């Protein structure tokens, strides 16, 4: 039974937030507070600077509408499944290495290949086995230590969004960051314009104009600092999209000199990342939980067929009691018992 104890679910699983969802309130405050200050102390006075058709009201309306748009992008990026890979209820038994097992083996002797190779665009790519999720991760997938989930096309875990950024919400994250940059430029420009109007009127020097409207000065400083952050992110992620990379891949593999098997050209990369249809979630968060049907235990030696030690394959019996990532496999051979037990751990 798959459990995501760290996620936060609302409205019957329609909204899925990360474990640090409370940080989302800080991000909202950092957006709403300066815009409210702008509307009250700057845009309200600019209404009467453009007399033709009351065009000055557009400055106030644009600020409010565009802020709502930015907040919606933030909300969508934070409240949707980023691309969580379903956990397995048991390890892939077909991949266990039995070759070196003997009757005296300890529970730690159950082994899985740590790495497999799959083909991507005709080039072999290594994928790792995740001990926590008990699956081989798809290409470009990584296990988030904060959300405790494997996420497809994992980019990073964003504390400002309070959610992993992956295959299903990266587009909205990029639009949020780039739109926030434009909002900073807009507020900065309109605040500077208001200072200019003050200087053309009763306050001929910059100092007198800023002294008359300290809110404009505070907004210009705030937007200038914020633009270094969100503007830098916009430029960085534009580069990542154009080369079809993720933040995780860029920081981890840029010194390896390995070829980028996902790069299909700038236009195709943008088409794939920004404009392609978002795949549906692999998990049904609103579905009823189905209890697993457990295999009946083997209660006699006659139920066990000889397998690796000179005979046909054994019937794997015993108690397959899975709670989280715990797997118990009991096998009997001749007059001895082999107990093999693995526990889920941290992601490799």
Mind telling me the catalytic residues?
A: 158
**Distances in Å between the alpha carbon of 80 and those of 21, 47, 132, 257, 283?**
12, 39, 22, 34, 12
CB within 8 A of 345, min separation 6: which ones? 131, 132, 325
Report CA 223 to chain centroid distance, whole Å: 27
Tokens of 15: 């909204």
Whole-angstrom Cα distance, residue 231 to residue 181?
5
Whether residue 173 contacts residue 158, with contact meaning beta carbons closer than 8 Å, is answered with yes
Tell me how far apart the alpha carbons of residues 143 and 84 are, in angstroms, rounded to a whole number: 9
Q: Which two tokens stand for residue 343?
A: 């526990």
* First-to-last C-alpha distance (Å) of the chain: 22
The DSSP annotation for 57-92 comes to: HHHHHHHHHHHHHHHHHHHHHHHS---BPPPPSS--
CA 330 centroid distance within chain: 38
């Amino acid at each position: 039974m798959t459990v995501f104890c760290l996620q936060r679910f609302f409205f019957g699983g329609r909204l899925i937030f990360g474990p640090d969802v409370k940080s989302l309130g800080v991000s909202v405050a950092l957006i709403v507070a300066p815009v409210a200050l702008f509307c009250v102390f700057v845009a309200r006075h600019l209404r009467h600077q453009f007399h033709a058709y009351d065009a000055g009201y557009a400055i106030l309306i644009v600020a409010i509408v565009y802020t709502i748009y930015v907040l919606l992008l933030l909300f969508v990026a934070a409240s949707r499944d980023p691309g969580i890979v379903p956990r397995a209820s048991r390890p892939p038994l077909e991949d266990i290495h039995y070759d070196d097992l003997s009757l005296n083996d300890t529970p730690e002797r159950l082994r899985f290949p740590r790495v497999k190779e799959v083909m991507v665009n005709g080039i072999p790519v290594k994928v790792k086995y995740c001990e926590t999720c008990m699956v081989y991760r798809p290409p470009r997938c990584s296990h988030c230590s904060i959300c405790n989930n494997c996420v497809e096309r994992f980019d990073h875990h964003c504390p400002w969004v309070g959610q992993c950024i992956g295959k299903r919400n990266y587009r909205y994250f990029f639009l949020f960051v780039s739109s926030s940059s434009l909002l900073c430029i807009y507020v900065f420009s309109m605040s500077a314009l208001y200072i200019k109007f003050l200087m053309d009127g009763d306050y001929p020097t910059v100092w007198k104009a800023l002294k008359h409207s300290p809110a404009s000065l505070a907004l210009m400083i705030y937007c200038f600092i914020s633009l270094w952050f969100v503007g830098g992110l916009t430029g960085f992620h534009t580069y990542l999209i154009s080369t079809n990379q993720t933040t995780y891949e860029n920081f981890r593999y840029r010194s390896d000199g390995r070829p980028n098997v996902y790069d299909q050209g700038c236009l195709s990369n943008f088409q794939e990342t920004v404009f392609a249809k978002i795949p549906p979630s692999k998990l049904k968060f609103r579905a009823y939980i189905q209890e697993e049907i457990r295999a009946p235990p083997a209660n006699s030696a006659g139920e066990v067929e000889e397998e690796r030690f000179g005979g046909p394959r054994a019937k794997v019996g015993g108690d397959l009691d899975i709670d989280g990532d715990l797997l118990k496999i009991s096998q009997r051979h001749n007059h001895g018992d082999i107990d093999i037990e693995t526990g889920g751990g941290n992601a490799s």
